[in-house]
Structure 1
């Protein structure tokens, strides 16, 4: 059987790594990289660190509006599928690459498998929410990471082809955390001590493309007076410059602004942070797995388990709420990692496909 895997962004490279390793024991896999992340730090380094095979196709779509990006991907993925004639197209998560891959396949009557199916924030203003809902409704195999995800699919009338597999990001973390601890020198390079800093990531359009939201977040970081390590996504850097906030960040004595880091360095930064501030879905989960309190810069999250268990708090882009959480938020329960599987989701997915 021939499988085409469509990826294009950092979280998808991480999710793909353990699945691809398992998949290639039994199937022919063709990797299509849409080029949604086109910056070296956001892209090549992940393939190298996670030992992911080189993409067979690099579509080079790059940045742009949602319509432009999705349309270009759809057109170029379709050309690959017509040429390769796969039996299955495998997509991950909730990006424009996910939706484009699923739509291109289903219109050519090729079966679609969606890894991380059933996630819902119930906020249609989020482009990611629209992407995952549409992808789920055209998929033949829906690999749900949690029981909540299965329930969400059932509530939407999707019952056929739904499998509770566990979370492939948990697989990736378990297989890479010890490697990261041995290999990474990021703490020494940045002069950091364990649990003596906070880690922040901001990349979602609802925060970067909204001047007031980004200003609030940056002001909260500065006024917290906590040492905050801030690996800034290319999009974030672009808007920090556009809104004349970049100098404010650079002048702030408590903010360490750095370029994006690789997966292994990021795991070490996460594991050793006292708290994490993020609007990323993947980082929320990694914080939970590593037992680091998480402050989420969003009003809603698809990873409700992390909030229900008391390890994650939603503060949006409200300056006062962010500062209060930095100063006062402490975990109220335990991290029940079994909710995300046993670290063998990849094996389970491939077994189902076999």
Structure 2
């Protein structure tokens, strides 16, 4: 039997592993000799960030929770590695499958390779070129020791080729996060947010998310950026899902406006309901730019670089930068109705996870069968 250990650690991971688990379950029902063990590293855990994701996305309870959250980058990496080494030693796997670019992705990849276990990286090969981002280091380290690479775009394929990866280890399959989006788009949940005693009007509000240090660590710059957002959004409500503690800090900094509305963090289905019904999203996230592209929602990315350039060249995203002065012309273009429409991105069709499992069975199924026969003989 092909035994796969799947790693989840932080919010973005859950959307990416959900369709993979469903594809494995489907393959098992069809008689394929395959099974999985789900390991939650505990890198992030609270009800909104983890628990509701498992419930809403139909992910089974993890077989193990390493509870390795908290601490500095180094402390968290070390804790995950120590605890995952014990987990993988006690529950050996043929392959360890990691997704995305969080600390858990890198830490579990290193641990698996040192235990001579094959590493599969889903969403491999994406690059921002910005080594100040912890995620970029996680991507580079993980891809340096990965055995098979599952990619979301031809750009990612080319990045891997330039790094010397052989063609037969690169598998262009699409985007599992889009699998999750497409399968749940009819199940989005209205969070029932009211502004001035009235419900939000469709295409009558903006969604805002900010978390990167380049945008939030410097108080003066953050105030300027928020003012630029409020000046350019035509007095429409700006909905900002943020932890209550962070909202309090922002309010204490004087970042308040009659059209700016802080709300508590939302579940996956609630947040994407907002995105789907908004006029546009202003963000410094990477994953959100993929979802807005598929839903056809304009997206303004407050970053100086992106690891997802296809959302700009083919999608609805624009790279605004981190200078507040840059925002005005983009918002003017949006409010005048001149935003680009975007188009379909190859293989972002909701069928990525099935392709991944097909490849894994093809690559590893025969190997596992041969090893089983050798043991029996």
Structure 1 residue 322: Cα displacement:
2.4
Structure 1 residue 3: Cα displacement:
1.2
Report matched runs for 1:1-354 at 5 Å.
1-24=2-25, 25-26=27-28, 27-159=34-166, 160-180=168-188, 184-187=189-192, 191-224=199-232, 225-232=235-242, 234=243, 238=245, 241=248, 245-246=251-252, 248-249=254-255, 251-309=256-314, 311-329=316-334, 333-354=340-361
SS at match of 2:345: helix
SS at match of 1:280: coil
Structure 1 residue 332: Cα displacement:
5.3
CA distance in 2, matches of 1:276, 1:174: 19
Please, which moves more after superposition, 25-34 or 328-337? 328-337
SS at match of 1:267: helix
Under a length normalisation based on structure 2, what TM-score does the superposition of the two structures give?
Answer: 0.86
Structure 1 residue 291: Cα displacement:
0.6
Structure 1 residue 75: Cα displacement:
1.1
Structure 1 residue 319: Cα displacement:
1.6
CA distance in 1, matches of 2:241, 2:65: 26
The answer on whether the counterparts of 1:123 and 1:129 sit within 8 Å (CA) in structure 2 is yes
Structure 1 residue 78: Cα displacement:
1.0
Structure 1 residue 204: Cα displacement:
2.6
The answer on whether the counterparts of 2:314 and 2:345 sit within 8 Å (CA) in structure 1 is no
The answer on whether the counterparts of 1:90 and 1:113 sit within 8 Å (CA) in structure 2 is yes
Structure 1 residue 271: Cα displacement:
0.7
CA distance in 1, matches of 2:315, 2:98: 31
Aligned residue pairs, count: 346
SS at match of 1:43: helix
CA distance in 2, matches of 1:253, 1:11: 31
Structure 1 residue 211: Cα displacement:
3.6
CA distance in 2, matches of 1:171, 1:51: 13
**Cα gap change, 1:129/1:342 in structure 2, threshold over 3 Å: closer, same or farther?**
same
Structure 1 residue 307: Cα displacement:
1.3
CA distance in 1, matches of 2:225, 2:47: 26
SS at match of 1:196: coil
CA distance in 1, matches of 2:109, 2:263: 35
Larger radius of gyration: 2
Q: Which runs of 5+ in 2 are unaligned?
A: 29-33, 362-377
CA distance in 2, matches of 1:71, 1:211: 32
**Cα gap change, 1:188/1:238 in structure 2, threshold over 3 Å: closer, same or farther?**
closer
The answer on whether the counterparts of 1:6 and 1:33 sit within 8 Å (CA) in structure 2 is yes
Structure 1 residue 158: Cα displacement:
1.2
CA distance in 2, matches of 1:70, 1:161: 27
CA distance in 2, matches of 1:338, 1:299: 22
SS at match of 2:38: strand
Structure 1 residue 107: Cα displacement:
0.8
Give deviations 1:14-42, integer Å, cap 9, x for gaps: 01111111123332211111112122111
